[in-house]
Amino acid sequence: MAINKDYFVIEGLAGARKLRGKISVNGSKNAALPAMAASLLFDNPVTLTNVPAIEDIKRMGELLKSLKTKVSHQGKHSLIIDPRSTKKTAFNEEISKRLRASIVLLGPVLGRFGEASLPHPGGCVIGARPIDLFIEGFDKMGVNFSEKDGLYTFKTRGGKLSGADITFKIVSVTATETFLMAAVLAKGTTVLRNVALEPEVTSVAEWLMRCGAKISGIGTSTLTIEGGELLQAPTLPFPIIPDRIEAGSFLILGAISASRLTIEKCNPEHIIVTIELLREAGLDIETGPDFIKIKPGKENQCRTISIRTHEYPGFPTDLQAPLTVFMTQSCGEGAVFETIFEGRLNYTEILIKMGADLKMWDAHHVTVKGPTKLSGKEVESPDIRAGLAFIIAAIAAEGQSIIRNAYYIDRGYEHIERRLRKIGVNIRRVAG
């Protein structure tokens, strides 16, 4: 499977606030991927709308097809998934090694067939992502685990998953989604404690419940699921919620480089902490039911902020890199504490090369002094979120920047260059 070598060329604004206009938010990648996996819980075709046309969605579609599931497009942003032809339980190794979300399929595959095999799931290199939670949890649900030549095999001891009481030692979105889906088809009652509360989790759980799943406690830290039979999808499609990380990233870009920017088709409640942090930094922000408007404060205030990432509803780790770029343009010294992934601050070395005044104290803590002038550089995207942060930094910088490894950015953001050009960014994609 060839990875494109495209890259972006960006002419920076040298700190000027020249961007203005409207930019729309697409459907959430992190809600669409588990919804696609959840299609295997059904006994009829599932229709998903507002699905972003990005690389990770393509990979999940290919992974489902490798299991003999029928996946078809109905327009650019709609998918029809028919699980009735699904018969394989061995995940495609090449795709799984590149897609972290592949492990979410483990729940519905085990629930439907009682066995599954996959390699260690891959994705971005942002720190260790152990599968201990999955091994221990499925053991409680009556599953034997074995590993041979890098291939993990899960097989139920009685041919069907059994309900269990599972407490997650750490809050995990993927573990919550995986065991929630597994429990829907398990025999008996499953209780999941210390679950993730992210909107992407709750939206999929609410959809499953509307389709017949017996789930209580949605929106709380404890979920109780009564196992049952395959679900029936309604005639109406399931619309994927707006991508809060995309909305937050556009908001931060506006805070740095826009005279006036409106983010449309979003849910401000999903990024309320980010909005309040930017207000604290002096930005003028107006919110509505599905939009956010941002412009500089009346007195062009420039105040620093500090952030500590936390599971929802706290400040999201996926917005940590863009907000760090914002802090390089703020006044004073602020701190960034990354509490989720130990390797997620490595991108700061690139920002330092661009002129940022940053100091890394350890793998979880950096301090940022601003404002500093950034200079355009040639850099490479290390992961999805840092890749977009580099684009934001390049827009604020003086001179030309080249952002290589566009594939990572494409994994999370649909046609980012086309959308940014509409608000005034001088950006172009070059085929690699």
C-alpha angle 15-271-213 in degrees, rounded to nearest 5: 150
Residues 246 and 325 in one domain: yes
User: Is residue 314 located within the same domain as residue 329?
Assistant: yes
The pLDDT assigned to 128 comes to 45
pLDDT for 123 equals 47
DSSP 77: T
Same domain as 209, residue 292: no
CA atoms within 13 A of residue 181's CA, in its CB half-sphere? 28
pLDDT mean over 214-221: 98
Angle at 36 between CA 29 and CA 221, to 5 degrees: 70
Q: Give residue-wise pLDDT tens across range 312-345.
A: 999 999 999 999 999 999 999 999 999 998 889 9
Dmax (CA) of the chain: 68
Catalytic residue among 124, 211, 302, 331: 124
Strand, coil or helix: 211: coil
The domain in which residue 394 lies consists of 7-26+242-430
96/207 same-domain check: yes
Helical (H) or strand (E) element with 180: helix 173-184
235 and 313 in a single domain? The answer is no
Q: How many residues does the chain have?
A: 432
Q: How far apart are CA 425 and CA 29, in angstroms?
A: 24
**Residue 299: pLDDT over 70:** no
Burial of 177 (0-12, 13-18, 19+ CB in 10 A): buried
Least confident of 2-11, 288-297, 354-363: 2-11
Laid out side by side, the sheet with 46-49 consists of 70-73, 79-82, 46-49, 238-239
* Structure confidence at residue 100 as a pLDDT band (50, 70, 90): confident
CATH number of the domain to which 261 belongs:
3.65.10.10
Cis peptide bond N-terminal to 313, omega within 30: yes
Rounded Cα–Cα distance for residues 277 and 31 (Å): 25
Q: Above 90 in pLDDT, residue 127?
A: no
Is the domain of 21 the same as that of 102? no
Tokens of 182: 């597994």
Q: Are residues 173 and 293 in the same domain?
A: no
- Residue 48 shares a structural domain with residue 114: yes
Domain total of the chain: 2
CA distance 51 to 36: 10
- Residue 1 falls within a domain, yes or no? no
Respond yes or no: is residue 124 known to be catalytic: yes
φ, ψ at 110 (rounded to 5°): -65, -40
Residue 39 belongs to a domain: yes
Per-residue confidence (pLDDT) for residue 125, from 0 to 100: 41
| Angle (CA) 128 347 8, round 5° | 115
pLDDT of residue 130: 66
Nearest to 226 by CA among 186, 176, 167: 186
The predicted-structure confidence for 131-175, as pLDDT tens digits, reads as follows: 888 999 999 999 999 999 888 999 999 889 999 999 999 999 999
Separation CA 402–CA 377 (nearest Å): 6
> Which has more pLDDT, 344 or 82?
82
Say whether pLDDT at 220 is over 70: yes
Residue 384 lies in a domain: yes
